[in-house]
């Protein structure tokens, strides 16, 4: 089971699992020739072509488009999967790959984690939605509020982008102001996007400042003046923030009456269970925060949480969707919360991430390949290359050796990255780097 390494470090098994044996866990391993189980038995390349023909951008998730995965639309590498278990996935080409991306950080326990899967199946068997709200919505909200420092109330949506947008709308409703200062990436919705199709007036109401730049934050806040509704901050961007950065954000909001919002989509249930606001000895606590990704281990669920006085402003605006509280995602979140309540999941992610970084760095050093560095923090780290073409070729070679790395963004540790997987990742990384060095010398 994927949590064996964690529990061998002395963590306590949840009571609900104490009586289970591995024989009772559903067999989720691939059976037979997976390629033959793929629809129509077609090869991987035709899935890429079919996707390009029927989906306007090739994938409904931007980071899963071929050019986003590898840096080039025609790069060689898998683009579609048919099964994912633990930290391994079976692609449409029938080959198995070790995954270091963990679904862009949406999965911290492991794909198809048995406890989460059982909870989801049970919820589905009892009906996912009805004319009434589910009791699970109340139960999960209570448990999240117990885990997150700023959380006195919670409201659910279906994605992280919705969660942070809901937080901004609540802040604007509460303050009666319009201008937002943001530092980080907050999704694709209009309020924070400079993409084509976004009205100029909408763009003007959101000002971006660089991460951890106190002077830029001060200047933007001074310019905003009495229009400032909120500061929206991604607390970790490639590295931990300085204490001064978040303290200054808190001080500005306290002085002006603006709302401090943390985007905890990547950091929640990973850096610490309650997000970055629960990390360290003297964390800064925001007024509102958005959670998603690892909250439900890959099931679609987002949450905006915060102080009661602010959250009650949601009654004066409109934040709602038909499936915001459907039960399968809530059941998944409940199973995740149980793990976090019973074991040091985030401690395990820091340890596993350090081990992954260690073996990848060792492979880089041994290969002698220059122009690539490892950055980030242990639970969420990345490779920075000096040239896009070299990165693309490395990703292709890594995939040929059975490992998927993320291009230009975080790789995420999961508890499913056990000792065997880490050894295989080291070997595959070494082989890819040696092959790259040989090609570049030729």
- Pairing between β-strand 228-233 and β-strand 372-377 as defined by DSSP bridges: unpaired
- Give a yes or no: residue 4 inside a domain: no
Which of 321, 342, 363 is a domain's end point? 342
Q: What pLDDT score does 213 carry?
A: 98
For the entire predicted model, the pTM comes to 0.90
Q: What pLDDT score does 281 carry?
A: 85
Of the candidates 271, 243, 262, the residue with the CA atom closest to the CA atom of residue 380: 271
What is the distance between the alpha carbons of residues 408 and 319, in angstroms, rounded to a whole number?
33
Q: What pLDDT score does 387 carry?
A: 97
119 and 206 part of one domain: yes
Own/partner pairs for 242-249, CB < 8 Å, 24+ apart? 242/212, 242/214, 243/282, 244/214, 245/211, 245/212, 245/213, 245/214, 245/217, 246/284, 247/284, 248/214, 248/217, 248/218, 249/217, 249/284
307 and 164 part of one domain: yes
The rounded mean pLDDT for the chain is 91
- Give a yes or no: residue 43 inside a domain: yes
Encode burial over 261-280: b for 16+ CB neighbours within 10 A, e otherwise.
bbbbbbbbbbbbbbbbbbbe
Q: Give the domain range for residue 312.
A: 114-342
Q: What pLDDT score does 45 carry?
A: 57
144 and 165 part of one domain: yes
Q: What pLDDT score does 3 carry?
A: 56
Which of 294, 314, 342 is a domain's end point? 342
- Give a yes or no: residue 94 inside a domain: yes
Encode burial over 428-439: b for 16+ CB neighbours within 10 A, e otherwise.
bbbbbbbbbeee
- Give a yes or no: residue 24 inside a domain: no
pLDDT digits (tens, 9 = 90+) for 199-242: 999 999 999 999 999 999 999 999 999 999 999 999 999 999 99
Q: What pLDDT score does 26 carry?
A: 41
284 and 427 part of one domain: no
Which of 293, 311, 342 is a domain's end point? 342
Q: Which CATH number fits the domain that encloses residue 52?
A: 3.90.1150.10
388 and 310 part of one domain: no
170 and 151 part of one domain: yes
163 and 229 part of one domain: yes
pLDDT digits (tens, 9 = 90+) for 54-113: 999 999 999 999 999 999 988 999 999 999 999 999 999 999 999 999 999 999 999 999
Q: What pLDDT score does 442 carry?
A: 83
- Give a yes or no: residue 109 inside a domain: no
398 and 260 part of one domain: no
Q: What pLDDT score does 10 carry?
A: 34
- Give a yes or no: residue 369 inside a domain: yes
Q: Which CATH number fits the domain that encloses residue 269?
A: 3.40.640.10
Structural domains of the chain, count: 2
Q: Averaged in consecutive runs of 10 residues, what is the pLDDT profile of the chain (442 residues)?
A: 50 38 40 43 72 92 92 92 97 96 98 98 97 97 98 98 98 98 95 92 95 98 97 97 97 98 98 96 94 98 98 96 96 98 97 98 96 97 97 97 97 98 98 97 86
323 and 371 part of one domain: no
What is the distance between the alpha carbons of residues 221 and 223, in angstroms, rounded to a whole number?
5
226 and 361 part of one domain: no
């Amino acid at each position: 089971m994927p949590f064996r390494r964690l529990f061998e470090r002395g963590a306590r098994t949840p009571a609900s699992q104490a009586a289970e044996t591995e024989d009772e866990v559903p067999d989720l391993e691939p059976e037979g020739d997976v390629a033959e189980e793929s629809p129509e038995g077609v090869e991987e390349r035709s899935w890429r072509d079919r996707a390009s023909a029927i989906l306007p951008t090739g994938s409904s998730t931007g980071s899963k488009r071929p050019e986003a995965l590898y840096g080039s639309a025609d790069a060689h590498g898998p683009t579609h999967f048919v099964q994912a278990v633990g930290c391994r996935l079976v692609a449409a080409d029938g080959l198995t790959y070790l995954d270091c991306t963990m679904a862009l950080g949406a999965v911290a326990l492991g794909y198809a984690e048995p406890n989460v899967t059982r909870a989801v199946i049970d919820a589905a068997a009892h009906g996912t939605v009805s004319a009434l709200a589910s009791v699970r919505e109340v139960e999960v909200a209570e448990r999240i509020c117990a885990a997150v420092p700023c959380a006195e109330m919670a409201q659910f949506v279906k994605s992280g982008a919705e969660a942070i947008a809901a937080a901004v709308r609540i802040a604007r409703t509460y303050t009666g102001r319009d201008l937002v200062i943001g530092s980080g990436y907050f999704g694709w919705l209009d309020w924070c996007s400079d993409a084509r199709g976004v009205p100029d007036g909408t763009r003007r109401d959101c000002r971006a400042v660089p991460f951890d730049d106190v002077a830029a934050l001060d200047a933007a806040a001074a310019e905003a003046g009495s229009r400032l509704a909120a500061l929206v901050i991604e607390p970790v961007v490639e590295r931990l923030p300085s204490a001064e950065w978040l303290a200054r954000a808190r001080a500005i909001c306290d002085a002006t009456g603006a709302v401090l919002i943390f985007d905890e989509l990547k950091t929640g249930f990973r850096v610490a269970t309650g997000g970055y606001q629960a990390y360290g000895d003297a964390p800064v606590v925001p007024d509102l925060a958005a959670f998603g990704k690892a909250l439900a281990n890959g099931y679609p669920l987002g949450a905006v949480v915060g102080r009661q006085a602010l959250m009650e402003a949601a009654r004066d605006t409109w934040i709602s969707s038909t499936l915001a509280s459907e039960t399968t995602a809530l059941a998944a979140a409940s199973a995740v919360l149980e793990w976090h309540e019973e074991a040091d999941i985030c401690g395990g992610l820091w340890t596993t991430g350090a081990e992954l970084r260690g073996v990848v760095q060792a492979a880089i050093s041994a290969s002698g390949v220059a122009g690539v560095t490892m950055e980030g923090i242990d639970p969420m780290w990345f490779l920075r290359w000096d040239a896009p073409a070299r990165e693309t070729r490395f990703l292709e070679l890594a995939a040929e050796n059975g490992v998927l790395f993320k291009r230009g963004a975080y790789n995420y540790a999961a508890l499913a990255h056990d000792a065997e997987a880490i050894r295989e990742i080291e070997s595959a990384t070494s082989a890819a780097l040696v092959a790259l060095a040989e090609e570049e010398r030729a």
